[in-house]
């Protein structure tokens, strides 16, 4: 074989390798592009579906707080204020705008334009200021979910009347109110301040947000110190034998166990055996702490390993004890990595719903929890509840709840990255 032939063969082999490399890069770029496109499509779909939940239609009415209606039982007591028929006040104000509505069936249809939560809004106003009794105020009250959907253009009026949530007469009343600027779309503050509700227009995420906060607080207070101390012992003090090898293997295995298994464990131990309150953030936090513990231990051990051994050796050489060398020198240097692992573990716990469903946190909870033992739910479970609701208006609430949850997850993961970049030392 001549030198020219040998050179040609080498060039062909080299060109073949270059083509293979270009194909591999193309495959990688294609895979990343497809992943980004799918992620973008999901996010766009959530925004398109959920953005309407951040605005709510409200009707402006002149409400007369009639003492005869509020004190219908004759007693001017706080109990009478609490139990009064405030929805009747809203209905009376609405009927004044349509004096020609006289038939009983039409009155019922007209009343359905108002949300059942309008009475609760008026009740809260009177309880906060009893001096309103006997006065008249122009107030904005929530409309029903069907009216809200119509104002947002989400009801197809071309369908036959029997296939629509609103009949032609109700649509005429709504159009009349909109033309008079009495029904407006406003920023939906109730979505961020209210707890859950059977009425979509009154449902909010505050109860789920506080429940999530209490659950993650319990999870962090239990999992972080136990996880860090366990990792310090296993990495710095534990002898290398079969027992520690067995513990390490099981820690790695527990990190891969499906989360619902931890829910079954919590149901069997915390609820059935220990008798702790069902659907409470205390139990939810304990279950999530068990699930998060392996992640924190693995991340903390990795952070401790990243500290050069010379740091501890120098401290020992200057007369420090083994514990002083670890806690005064090694641990502070490893803490940024430990905190990053803990935040990532909490972010994982934030998105979990399966273990919480097993311990009863799927219950319908209206009141906003005030402590770790009050009945509560979390954001992922609240999204699950809304997704299972038959009312169409809950579809937008579900997408909006997912956007809020994604915002929390992004903030937590960004904080982990910032902590690592700011405090991490390269040796």
pLDDT tens, position by position, 307-348 = 888 888 888 888 888 889 989 889 988 988 898 888 888 888
The pLDDT value recorded for residue 187 is 93
CA atoms 213, 215, 218, 219: torsion sign:
negative
Of the pLDDT bands very low, low, confident and very high (cuts 50, 70, 90), residue 3 is low
The pLDDT value recorded for residue 189 is 93
More confident: 279 or 13: 279
Of the pLDDT bands very low, low, confident and very high (cuts 50, 70, 90), residue 26 is very high
For residue 191, the number of C-alpha atoms closer than 13 Å in the C-beta half-sphere is: 25
- The region of weakest confidence among 69-83, 247-261, 270-284, 311-325 is 69-83
Query: Alpha-carbon Rg of the chain, whole angstroms?
Result: 31
For the stretch 223-241, pLDDT in tens is 999 999 999 999 888 888 8
Of the pLDDT bands very low, low, confident and very high (cuts 50, 70, 90), residue 208 is very high
Q: 252: which 2 tokens?
A: 């790695």
For the stretch 92-107, pLDDT in tens is 999 999 989 888 998 9
Residue 399 above 70 pLDDT?
yes
- The region of weakest confidence among 2-6, 62-66, 100-104 is 2-6
Euclidean distance between CA atoms 70 and 85, whole angstroms? 7
- List the domain boundaries for the chain: 3-51, 54-194, 206-423
215, 246, 353 from 258: Cα distances, Å:
19, 20, 12
113, 156, 392 from 159: Cα distances, Å:
20, 6, 16
Q: Quick count: other Cβ atoms within 10 Å of Cβ 152?
A: 16
Q: 329: which 2 tokens?
A: 């020198």
More confident: 208 or 163: 208
For residue 187, the number of C-alpha atoms closer than 13 Å in the C-beta half-sphere is: 3
Mean local confidence (pLDDT), 338-360: 87
Q: What is the CATH number of domain 206-423?
A: 1.10.3720.10
- The region of weakest confidence among 78-82, 170-174, 270-274, 412-416 is 78-82
Mean confidence (pLDDT) of the chain = 89
Cβ-contact 214, 376 below 8 angstroms: yes
Length of the chain: 427
Q: What is the pTM of this model?
A: 0.88
The pLDDT value recorded for residue 190 is 92
The fraction of the chain above a pLDDT of 90, given in percent, is: 47
The pLDDT value recorded for residue 426 is 66
The pLDDT value recorded for residue 84 is 86
Euclidean distance between CA atoms 152 and 283, whole angstroms? 41
3-state helix/strand/coil string of the chain: CCHHHHHHHHHHHHHHHHHHHHHHHHHHHHHHHHHHHHHHHHHHHHHHHHHHHHEEEEEEEEEECCHHHHCCCCCCCHHHHHHCCHHHHHHHHHHHHCCCCCCHHHHHHHHCCECCCHHHHHHHHHHHCHHHCCCEEEEEEEECHHHHHHHCCCCCCCCCHHHCCCCHHHHHHHHHHHHCCCEEEEECCHHHHCCCCCCHHHCCCHHHHHHHHHHHHHHHHHHHHHHHHHHHHHHHHCCCCHHHHHHHHHHHHHCCCCHHHHHHHHHHHHHHHCCCCCCCHHHHHHHHHHHHHHHHHHHHHHHHHHCCHHHHHHHHHCCCCHHHHHHHHHHHHHHHHHHHHHHHHHHHHHCCCHHHHHCCCCCCCCCCCCCCCCCCCCHHHHHHHHHCCCCCHHHHHHHHHHHHHHHHHHHHHHHHHHHHHHHCCCC
- The region of weakest confidence among 71-80, 124-133, 187-196, 304-313 is 71-80
Mean local confidence (pLDDT), 76-81: 77
Mean local confidence (pLDDT), 53-67: 92
């Amino acid at each position: 074989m001549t030198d020219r032939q040998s050179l040609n063969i080498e060039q062909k082999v080299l060109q073949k390798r270059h083509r293979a490399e270009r194909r591999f890069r193309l495959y990688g770029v294609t895979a990343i592009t497809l992943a980004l496109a799918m992620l973008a499509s999901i996010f766009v779909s959530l925004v398109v579906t959920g953005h309407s939940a951040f605005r709510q239609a409200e009707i402006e009415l002149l409400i007369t707080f009639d003492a005869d209606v509020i004190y219908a039982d004759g007693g001017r007591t706080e109990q009478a204020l609490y139990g009064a028929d405030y929805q009747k006040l809203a209905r009376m104000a609405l009927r004044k705008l349509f004096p020609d509505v006289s038939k009983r069936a039409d009155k019922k249809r007209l009343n359905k334009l108002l949300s059942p939560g309008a009475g609760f809004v008026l009740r809260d106003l009177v309880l906060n200021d009893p001096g309103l009794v006997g006065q008249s105020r122009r107030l904005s009250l929530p409309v029903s979910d069907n009216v809200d959907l119509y104002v947002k253009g989400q009801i197809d009026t071309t369908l036959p009347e029997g296939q629509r949530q609103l009949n032609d007469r109700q649509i005429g009343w709504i159009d009349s109110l909109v033309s008079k600027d009495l029904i407006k779309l406003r920023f939906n503050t109730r979505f961020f301040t209210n707890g859950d509700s059977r009425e979509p227009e009154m449902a909010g995420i505050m109860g789920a947000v506080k429940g999530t906060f209490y659950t993650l607080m319990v999870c962090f207070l239990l999992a972080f110190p136990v996880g860090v101390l366990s990792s310090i012992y296993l990495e710095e003090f534990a002898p290398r034998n079969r027992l520690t090898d067995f513990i390490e293997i099981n820690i790695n295995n527990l990190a891969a166990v499906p989360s619902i298994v931890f829910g079954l464990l919590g149901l069997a131990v915390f609820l059935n055996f220990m008798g702790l309150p069902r659907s409470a953030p205390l139990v939810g936090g304990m279950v999530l702490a068990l699930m998060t513990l392996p992640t924190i231990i693995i991340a903390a051990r990795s952070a401790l390993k990243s500290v050069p051994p010379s740091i501890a050796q120098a401290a020992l050489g200057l007369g420090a004890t083994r514990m002083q060398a670890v806690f005064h020198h090694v641990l502070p240097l490893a803490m940024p990595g430990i905190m990053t692992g803990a935040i990532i573990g909490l972010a994982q716990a934030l998105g979990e719903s399966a273990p919480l469903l097993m311990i009863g946190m799927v219950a319908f909870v209206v009141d906003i929890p005030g402590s770790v033992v009050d009945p509560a739910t979390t954001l992922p479970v609240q999204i699950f509840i809304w997704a299972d609701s038959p009312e169409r208006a809950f579809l937008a609430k579900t997408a909006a709840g997912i956007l809020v949850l994604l915002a929390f997850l992004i903030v937590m993961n960004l904080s982990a990255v910032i902590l690592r970049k700011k405090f991490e030392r390269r040796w």
